[in-house]
Amino acid sequence: MHTIKTYSKQTYNAMKKTFILATIALIFNTTSCKSQIYSPEDEQLRKEIGQMLLVGFRDTELQTGSSIYRDITEYNIGGVILFEYDAPSQSRPRNINSRLQLQKLCKDLQLLANGNLIISIDQEGGKVNRLKNQYGFPRFISAQEMGIENDPDTTIFYANRTAKTLNSMGINVNFAPCVDINSNPNCPIIGKLGRSFSADPDMVIKHASMWIEEHNRNNVISVIKHFPGHGSSKNDTHLGIADISSSWTENELIPFQYFIDLKMVDAIMTSHVFNANIDSIFPATLSYNTLTNLLRNTMKFEGVIITDDLAMGAMVQHYSLEQMLELAILAGADMLCLSNNGNNYDPNIVPKAVEIIYNKVINGNISRERITESYNRIQQLKDKHLQ
């Protein structure tokens, strides 16, 4: 038999007071852990890390309390990337369903970031086209169609139409044009999708120059891609590794070098291709030999290096988020594209990325100087184009 223990009223009240105080202490300690106080130096470091992140999100309108609202206000992200299709759920809409809606979304995002936000998109035309007719946008043809027609008036017309449309929406960065050489027409991600102007480097330069000039004229930043060239691959880096060691030639660098020499571009996007001739261990995005030794030191590029989407198969099938972030930064990348539009969607990708990079710096895996170097390049880009 169990006896029921009874307490006097005085004892009960004392126990109740102790329990309440203990509960308050527990809540206070938990809250303190969540809102850790950083030194001014560490706050600046975290601010600089946030600027290195280019993030994808779900929502056609900005809502207080959403992950992207938090990422801009609390984590100081450098930019966002917009999509019309949500790959993880295989559904629409993601960020785009009409002209007025997109314009308001971009305006609200920019206001929240005090005018300091990169708002980017992949708007090449043809099959890589986020601004579709069904949402009220005009027709945009592919790079391959422009190259085949080879009429400057046609290329200028569509480049101008693209840039003007983006500018009117409030989008300030376009991940285009592709300056990949169409050396393999059967390349599943370049040639077969009509994303290259030509197999001739001079033709690529000719049409890409017009494209870039029209974007500059309309205050939209062109980001040329995919360094060091994706046109010869037999595989799609969205799905897995694309080894171009036996197909790639130095001709694929010609357009990149041309635009670097003339200082026509302020940003270049990497590719996840593997090329043992340049780096026998890492794909281009994670390769110091490719991004720093080749692109920075040999080719003399001084602008912003942006990774291709780190959610692609060539990355996530072989590297953890922690490995990708560390290797890309050590390789020389300035902005890390976290599209959140691969197989999975993670609303907390930004807090995770910031903590990973911050701890890598605190632990000495990544130097403080490496972060500041990228931060300064990003601010120079923004000062030039966003003000």
Q: Is residue 31 part of a domain?
A: no
Q: Is residue 11 part of a domain?
A: no
Which amino acid does the sequence have at 277?
N
Q: Smallest Cα–Cα separation from 357: which of 36, 49, 17?
A: 49
Residue 79 per-residue DSSP state: E
Range of the domain at 179: 47-385
Q: Smallest Cα–Cα separation from 213: which of 204, 202, 222, 223?
A: 222
Q: Is residue 158 part of a domain?
A: yes
Q: Is residue 14 part of a domain?
A: no
Residue 193 per-residue DSSP state: G
Q: Determine the distance from the C-alpha atom of residue 254 to the mean position of all C-alpha atoms in its chain, rounded to a whole number.
A: 25
Task: Give residue 31's pLDDT.
Answer: 33
Q: Is residue 327 part of a domain?
A: yes
Q: Quick check: 109 and 173 in contact, CB under 8 A?
A: no
Q: Is residue 272 part of a domain?
A: yes
Q: Is residue 361 part of a domain?
A: yes
> Which string of b and e fits 141-158 if b means at least 16 CB within 10 Å?
bbbbbbbeeeeeeebbeb
Q: Is residue 29 part of a domain?
A: no
- CATH code at 211? 3.20.20.300
104/169 Cα distance (integer angstroms): 8
Helices (H) and strands (E) in the chain, counts: 13, 10
Domain count along the chain: 1
Pairing of strands 118-121, 173-174: parallel
Would you give per-residue pLDDT tens digits along the chain (387 residues)?
Answer: 333 333 344 443 444 444 444 433 333 333 333 458 999 999 999 999 999 999 999 999 999 999 999 999 999 999 999 999 999 999 999 999 999 999 999 999 999 999 999 999 999 999 999 999 999 999 999 999 999 999 999 999 999 999 999 999 999 999 999 999 999 999 999 999 999 999 999 999 999 999 999 999 999 999 999 999 999 999 988 999 899 999 999 999 999 999 999 999 999 999 999 999 999 999 999 999 999 999 999 999 999 999 999 999 999 999 999 999 999 999 999 999 999 999 999 999 999 999 999 999 999 999 999 999 999 999 999 999 997
43/231 Cα distance (integer angstroms): 42
102/89 Cα distance (integer angstroms): 21
Q: Quick check: 232 and 184 in contact, CB under 8 A?
A: yes
What is the tens place of the pLDDT at every residue in 172-223? Answer: 999 999 999 999 999 999 999 999 999 999 999 999 999 999 999 999 999 9
Q: Residues with catalytic annotation?
A: 238, 308
